Amino acid sequence: MIKTIYLLRGSKEESYVDFSKRIRSLAESKSSLDEIEQLKLVLTEKRPPVISIIPFKRDKIAAISIVGKKSNPDFKIQDVSGFIGSYQVTEALPVAYTKTWNDGQVSPGICLLTVFKKKKSIDYSTFIDRWHNGHTPLSLELHPLWNYNRNTVENYSSNTIELWDGIVEEHCKTRGDLLNPFKFFGKPTRIIQNMITVYKDTKSFLDYGSIEPYLAMEYWLKS
């Protein structure tokens, strides 16, 4: 099976509510197609907190993940307003929840959706090694992650506008686990050191200035 992620952005004039309705309707219309084995939607539904230890972007974005038998299938998502790219990815789940809720229901907890690019001064193999073998274990050690969906971009469609190298979804069971720094980064006696460790590690393999983290929700429409 081949996994493709479609990224779409909302306009400045579009409210979070209207963006959510538009993208959910789009995703639901595709989930009934026979050639789609799985379809999941992760999107911003409301403005993130004004004050947060995580520098959330305030734009509206959605990631529609489709698993099927075709490479870069044409589901007309590319024709939708706000389309920025179609990415064929290799998925890894270093830690995974057990889904017990029905398709169409919002997944429990909260999601940190992040898109990023490779650090320009390192080669691709170094980027992958530091990301997969260094940063991933560090994230699992320090953060209370319930589900870690790591997507390495292998290819783009020809009409992709934004060329991202990684798309990651980090899920926590509660909003507090993500938004409370003493839960997300550890005990008070370790929080500063842990934050510095994560910062240095992230800068070692990512183009730090291009990272875009979003506060998002997840919906399985076809699991």
pLDDT digits (tens, 9 = 90+) for 95-119: 999 999 999 999 999 999 999 999 9
DSSP 159-218: T-SS--SEEEEEEESSHHHHH-HHHHS--TTTHHHHHHHHHHHHHTTB-GGG-EEEEEEE
Write down the pLDDT at residue 73. Answer: 62
pLDDT digits (tens, 9 = 90+) for 123-160: 999 999 999 999 999 999 999 999 999 999 999 999 99
pLDDT digits (tens, 9 = 90+) for 60-82: 999 999 998 766 566 889 999 99
Write down the pLDDT at residue 112. Answer: 98
**pTM higher than 0.85 for the full model?**
yes
| Domain limits, the chain | 2-117+146-173+208-222
CA-closest candidate to residue 166, choices 194, 137, 145, 135: 135
